Amino acid sequence: MKQWTLEERYRVLESAEDVRDLFGRILKSVYRQTYHIMPVTGLSSDPNGFVYHDGVWHLYYQWCPWGAVHGLKYWYHVSSKDLIHWTNEGVGLKPDKIFDNKGTHSGSAIAYGDDLYLFYTGNHRDENWVRTPYTCAAKIGPDGKPVKLPEPLFGPRPDYSEHQRDPKVIWVPDQKKYFIFIGAQTMDKKGTALIYKSSDLLSGWEFAGQLNVPGFEDFGGMWECPCIVNISGKDILIFSPQYTKLPGRAESTNHNVYIVGKMDYDTLTFTPEADYQYLDFGFDFYAAQFAANVEDPDKAILIAWIGLPDNHYPTEPDEWEGSMCLPRELRLVNGKLVQTPVEGIEQLRIEEVAADGTLPAVFEMEAAVKGGDADLNLFTKADGSGGLTIHYDDARKTAVIDRTGMNKRFNENVGEVLEMPLDRPLEKLRIFADKCSVEIFANDGESTFTTHLYPEADEFNYTATDNVEVKIWTLAPSVKDDFVI
Ligand code: FRU
């Protein structure tokens, strides 16, 4: 594994030429995806600034240009008309001000009249590497490029640790005010969110207080990327708690959860109506963000990073890593989020291929399960050994998903076996595989499981028990892998 110096990781991108050769090398990677958003070069992590505006979906991702390493972070911009076909638009936010000199970190977008604004964390570090996080904004100009406000909107609270970042900005009609949720850590290292409010989007921000979530006063050491949305009259708070192990998550200390409840903006209290739930049961799912400006009161659109902080992935030698999950439509059913891949994704199907035990390079699979225990093993050797095994245990209504059988093992230290619990017996799996990722939607999205996976040439086979009926489609590419900086 390459050892990066601080200087290499935090090098400033002067021009597209700096990464042109790197892009050429990356294109040779057999794991470049075909219908998932992935970094143009280097590393992508959190989705940022996800918004629908003037008939176009805009999305940015945290981007480190130089390789599969977390370093100086930019916002890289992609756009889409349908959430399926995506175009590279080039660099969005650059760390080119003193207040964001060591990274334009995560944040959100909001429409304001006819204009679009990005809210982000300016990650400032001084010569002693002491960090000061600023909450900053930029307006999208007529050429589609952000123009930063000359000064940050506000700096960090002195009574919380340096971990204060990832502004999610929303308009709260009842209050006639804008609110910002900031992921934070208390001085005694507990995760939380800080809330700011203002009647004007671009000035007059005041600290309202710490978000109070009864029962969650000691839940993880930092809440990254908090985000709130209303679906069917209920508030849904999502965040990524860190520095803690949670049940059913093996050794991982990074998670992405949601709580259904009611947000009271007068008392800054989010009252849960039930315990937290995992957004996704897989190995690699983090920093999920709701799209802003979705008009339908009964659904939200969500996207997340397929990856986790602190993990290392087998594309590191190929000089890139990370991708976005497929955008998902979320509905609230019986207090749970039901997630389905974005409507219209079927248009990517090229043709249905024979269910003969072999797998195409890129595919969608539907597996109908006819009752009882069931096995579906993907990416096995031709003799059926190895692979990503999915064992459904009917008595426990749980699928056990195990990637220890793959040729390429990775992140063994955080666990390679996880369980996906279901609310009712397994009837259906819908699986999307794309070179280095697998997304599994069980029972029409009542539970989901997302993972990176790096099958090799001798692993494109599958086996299934007799009670599993499989259909497979090849899929067309929908994300352009072109050099736009
Ligand atoms: C989450 C995160 C955010 C931060 C960003 C930096 O993965 O750590 O809290 O803004 O990544 O890239």
Cβ(380)–Cβ(387) under 8 Å?
yes
> Does residue 209 carry a pLDDT above 80?
yes
The CATH number of the domain where 388 resides is what? 2.60.120.560
pLDDT at 18 over 90: yes
Query: What does the block give as tokens for 103?
Result: 């990274």
pLDDT of residue 35: 98
Ligand 1 midpoint to CA 151 (Å): 21
Question: 141 lies in a domain?
Answer: yes
Burial zone of 381 (CB within 10 Å; 0-12 exposed, 13-18 middle, 19+ buried)? middle
User: What rounded mean pLDDT belongs to the chain?
Assistant: 97
CA of 152 to the centre of ligand 1 (A): 18
Q: Give catalytic residues, as residue numbers.
A: 46
Same domain, 95 and 57: yes
- Residue 107: closest CA among 92, 97, 96: 92
Q: Which of 312, 341, 370 is the last residue of a domain?
A: 341
How far, in Å, CA of 404 to CA of 316, rounded? 20
Same domain? For 258 and 124 the reply is yes
Point out the domain boundary residue: 341, 357, 375.
341
Same domain (yes/no): 222, 351: no
Give the tens place of pLDDT for each residue, 61-71: 999 999 999 99
Q: Is residue 362 part of a domain?
A: yes
Q: Work out the pLDDT band at 59, boundaries 50, 70, 90.
A: very high
Ligand 1 pocket check: which of 60, 61, 225, 253 to mutate, most ligand atoms within 8 Å of Cβ?
225
Claim to verify: residue 334 and residue 397 sit in the same structural domain: no
The H-or-E segment that residue 364 falls in is strand 362-369
pLDDT band at 141 (very low <50, low <70, confident <90, very high): very high
**Within a domain: 250:** yes
pLDDT at residue 1 is higher than 90: no
Q: Return the minimum-mean-pLDDT range out of 42-46, 111-115, 478-482.
A: 111-115
Q: Name the residue of 104, 132, 136, 224 to mutate for ligand 1: max ligand atoms within 8 A of Cβ.
A: 224
End residue of a domain, out of 305, 324, 341: 341
Mean pLDDT confidence for 435-440: 98
- Ligand 1: centre distance to CA 180 (Å): 17
- Tokens found for residue 446: 């009542």
Q: Does 312 share its domain with 431? A: no
Look at the block and give the residue holding tokens 């990416």.
379
CB 452 within 8 A of CB 285: no
pLDDT of 113 reads 85
Report residue 275 as tokens.
């315990």
Query: In terms of residue numbers, what domain contains 444?
Result: 345-475
Same domain, 331 and 420: no
Distance CA 138, CA 97 (A): 12
Question: Ligand 1, atom 9: nearest CA belongs to which residue?
Answer: 224
Distance 2 CA to ligand 1 centre (A): 22
Q: Give the Å distance between the CA of 306 and the centre of ligand 1.
A: 14
Around ligand 1, the residues with Cβ closer than 6 Å are 45-46, 62, 73, 105-106, 121, 165-166, 183, 224-225, 287, 309
Q: Is residue 480 part of a domain?
A: no
Is the model's pLDDT at 371 over the cut of 90?
A: yes
Rounded Cα distance between 59 and 89, Å, is 10
| Nearest-5° Cα angle at 186, 167 to 234 | 50
Distance 452 CA to ligand 1 centre (A): 19
Judged by DSSP in three states, 315 sits in coil
The residue whose C-alpha atom lies closest to atom 6 belonging to ligand 1 is 105
Angle, vertex CA 357, rays to CA 406 and CA 340, nearest 5: 75
For residue 225, give the ligand 1 atom closest to its CA.
9
383-434, pLDDT tens digit by residue?
999 999 999 999 999 999 999 999 999 999 999 999 999 999 999 999 999 9
Judge whether 482 lies within some domain.
no
Answer for the pair 43, 104: CB distance below 8 angstroms, yes or no: no
Task: Tell me the mean pLDDT in the region 45-64.
Answer: 97
How many folded domains does the chain comprise?
2
Distance CA 426, CA 317 (A): 38
Question: Does residue 69 sit in the same domain as residue 165?
Answer: yes
Q: Mutation test of ligand 1: which of 66, 166, 243, 255 has the most ligand atoms closer than 8 Å to its C-beta? A: 166
Q: Locate the ligand 1 atom nearest the alpha carbon of residue 73 and give its number.
A: 12
CB 284 within 8 A of CB 293: no
Q: What percent of the chain clears pLDDT 90, i.e. is strictly above it?
A: 99
Same domain for 208 and 316: yes
Determine the atom of ligand 1 nearest the C-alpha atom of 224: 9
Overall average pLDDT of the 334-347 stretch = 97
What gap in Å lies between CA 429 and CA 418, rounded to an integer? 16
Amino acid identity of residue 54, one-letter, is: D
Q: Is residue 466 part of a domain?
A: yes
**Whether residues 63 and 171 fall in one domain:** yes
Asked whether residue 301 carries a pLDDT value surpassing 90, the answer given is yes
Q: Specify whether the CB–CB gap between 169 and 153 falls below 8 A.
A: no
Residue with the two structure tokens 């489609």: 473
Alpha-carbon span 108 to 91, nearest angstrom: 16
Per-residue pLDDT, 453: 98
Instruction: Give whole-number Cα distances, 213 to 14, 188, 190, 271, 341, in Å.
Output: 44, 17, 13, 6, 30
Asked if residue 364 and residue 329 are part of one domain, the reply reads: no
How far apart are the C-alpha atoms of 190 and 15, rounded to whole Å?
40
Backbone angles phi, psi at 260, to 5 degrees: -95, 135
How far, in Å, CA of 389 to CA of 21, rounded? 38
CA nearest neighbour of 466 among 376, 405, 384, 379: 376
Q: Is the domain of 367 the same as that of 278?
A: no
In a domain, 289, yes or no: yes
Tell me the one-letter amino acid at 291: A
* Index of the ligand 1 atom closest to the CA of residue 64: 12
pLDDT digits (tens, 9 = 90+) for 266-288: 999 999 999 999 999 999 999 99
Q: Is residue 463 part of a domain?
A: yes
| 2 vs 31: which has the higher pLDDT | 31
**Shared-domain flag, residues 281 and 430:** no
- Of 48, 73, 105, 239, which is best to mutate to test ligand 1, by the most ligand atoms within 8 angstroms of its C-beta? 105
Cα 60 to ligand 1 centre (Å): 13
Owner of token pair 């997630």? 339
Of ligand 1's listed atoms, the one at least distance from the Cα of 222 is 9
Output the domain CATH number for residue 337: 2.115.10.20
Question: How big, in percent rounded to 5, are the helix, strand and coil portions of the chain?
Answer: 5, 50, 45
